[in-house]
Amino acid sequence: MKIGIICSYPPEGEKHAFGEGGISWYSSNLLSSFKAKGIDYCVYANKTPEQPLETLINDNKKIIRCWTRGIFSTIQLSYQILKDRPNLIHIQYELFMLGKGVTALLSPFLFLAIRILRIPILVTIHGIPPLSKLEKTFIQGYGLKIPPIILRITLWIIVWIISSLSNQIILHRKDFIEVLTKEYHTSKQKIMIIPLGIEIPNKILDSEESKIKLGFQRKRVILFFGYLSKYKGLELLIESFRLLIKKHKDLLLIIAGDDTPGLAVRSRHPYSTILKSKAKKISPKIQFTGFINEEDIGLYFSASDLLVLPYSVGLSSSGPLSLAISYNTPFLISSELSSVINLEVASFEPNVLSITKKIDQYLQNKNLRHEILRHASILKKERSWSRISAQTEQIYLNYDFGCREKIRQS
């Protein structure tokens, strides 16, 4: 049985490459954890500088870099799929994976082309914008000059077509079932939940040693990690630090990440410029690192006393949250992400006062830290990549019998 996986994929030896986003990290972990016998994997990945067009990982896993981001990506992928004729196509879908602008609008044509070839489609939808959240202020935050109603209709059409053309849909969060069924009118029978995986690092560094290496000694470090996007509530976090630093003099806020590639806000200024300007007026104890290289990710998480993710809109399951669990870093998250872990005591509302109150509570309550880490250890076992990959492979194996019948029924 041959499975074709459409995704962005990182360069060899990396998982967290700049500009690749969470799908590359996800796909790399998923592929490396597959163990089922009788399945051959062809990963149809994006072309990357200095990477060979074909890489044989082992006897049954091959990376084929056959498409470039842009309007021709659908044609390039369709040609490769026609040439290989896999039994099932698994698409790791995010709105801008194939490209931004017009390319994102054309993404349903890839699904249509695969269905014309009579190949079943399994899609993992990594991020779902709730239509109810697409208000004027949210849209303007990304420099868009489009009425909310037009954006909602456009997204509804794209997601509805993709869902309709797919035989089965994987989501990472249970609350996204309601978004997909009620707001995008997708059949609930097609949907199943497989949570985001949590990797086990080769080594977890000592906290104090990590702080010394980074120059954070004698500081309690609050970390934000990830691309800098408007919906992630960074302005709220920076403003809350103004209140926290008055009470907790040893605090240091580290914003580890760079601008989301290809995205500008407010008069086309980089979002990092806006954030740095705000932070400069508040405290020199707010530091920006830029993009963190893969070899330093563990260092920053180990040096941090707390990860805070103040998202004002929950579009995904948050890779940084999974990394925090991997490195035993305590975390606090906004209510927009609370369904990812189901731990109410680690959640706050996405506003300045609630963020401030929850961080202050954490800094003064050691029991809260223990409760968060205890819950995280459970999640680490439940969401190991070996379990996630086994669940995914079971779906593949189900299509080994009666594939034609599944196509007919859909």
Per-position DSSP letters for 108-156, written without gaps between them: HHHHHHHHHTT--EEEEE-----GGG--HHHHHTTT----HHHHHHHHH
Phi, psi values for residue 74, rounded to 5°: -60, -40
Tokens of 109: 């044509």
- pLDDT value, residue 141: 59
**Residue range 302-325: average pLDDT?**
91
278 vs 262 pLDDT, higher one: 278
Residues 6 or more apart whose CB falls under 8 angstroms from that of 240 comprise 310, 352, 353, 355, 356, 359
Query: For 197-229, how does the pLDDT look when each residue is reduced to its tens digit (9 = 90+)?
Result: 998 887 888 999 999 999 999 999 999 999 888
On whether both 320 and 389 belong to a single domain, the answer is no
Rounded Cα gap, residues 280 and 21, in angstroms:
28
**Rounded Cα–Cα distance for residues 197 and 199 (Å):** 6
Question: According to the model, what pLDDT value does residue 406 have?
Answer: 43
Average pLDDT over residues 329-356: 94
Q: Which amino acid is at 327?
A: Y
Query: Mean pLDDT, the chain, as a whole number?
Result: 90
- Shared domain check, 234 and 116: no
CA 17 to chain centre: 13
Across the strands, what pairs with 168?
A: 122
Asked if 378 and 388 sit in the same domain, the reply is no
Mean pLDDT, range 332-339, rounded to an integer: 92
Q: Find the radius of gyration of the CA atoms of the chain.
A: 21
pLDDT confidence of residue 262: 56
Domain match, 69 and 146 both: yes
Residues 181 and 316 occupy one common structural domain: no
Q: Residue 202 domain-assigned?
A: no
Which phi and psi angles does 166 have, rounded to 5°?
-90, 140
Q: How far apart are CA 192 and CA 186, in angstroms?
A: 12
284 in the same domain as 346 = yes
Q: What is the DSSP letter of 309?
A: E
In degrees, rounded to 5, the angle at the alpha carbon of residue 276 between the alpha carbons of residues 275 and 280 is: 120
Does 399 have pLDDT greater than 80? no
Evaluate the CA torsion angle 282, 293, 230, 147 in order and state its sign. Answer: positive
Total domains in the chain come to 2
Are 120 and 248 in a shared domain?
Answer: no
Is 185 part of any domain? Answer: yes
Q: What is the pLDDT of residue 92?
A: 96
Residue 382 φ then ψ, to 5°: -70, -30
My answer on whether 46 and 115 are in the same domain is: yes
Predicted TM-score (pTM) of this structure: 0.88
Residue 321's CB: how many other CB atoms inside 10 A?
Answer: 25
- In whole angstroms, what is the distance from residue 111 CA to residue 161 CA? 8
Q: Are residues 152 and 193 in the same domain?
A: yes
Please check whether residues 399 and 368 belong to one and the same domain.
no
Residues 35 and 159 in one domain: yes
- Residue 14 sits in the same domain as residue 80: yes
pLDDT score recorded for residue 313: 85
* DSSP state for residue 46 in the 8-state scheme: E
The domain that contains 232 carries what CATH number?
3.40.50.2000
1 residue type, one letter = M
Residue 398: domain span: 2-197+384-409
**Has residue 42 been placed in a domain?**
yes
Written as six digits, the tokens of 352 are 């300045």
What's the 3-state SS for 5-58? EECCCCCCCCCCCCCCCHHHHHHHHHHHHCCCCCCEEEEEEECCCCCCCEEEEE
Token pair of 11 as six digits: 């360069």
Pairwise CA distance, residues 303 & 233, whole Å: 22
80-133 pLDDT, tens digit per residue, is 999 999 999 999 999 889 988 889 899 999 999 999 999 999 999 998 888 888
Q: 402, 87 in Cβ contact below 8 A? A: no
Residue 140, pLDDT score? 61
Amino acid residing at 211:
K
Residues in a beta bridge with 88: 3
Please say whether the dihedral angle defined by the alpha carbons of residues 74, 77, 79 and 84, taken in this order, is positive or negative.
Answer: negative
The answer as to whether 389 is a domain residue is: yes
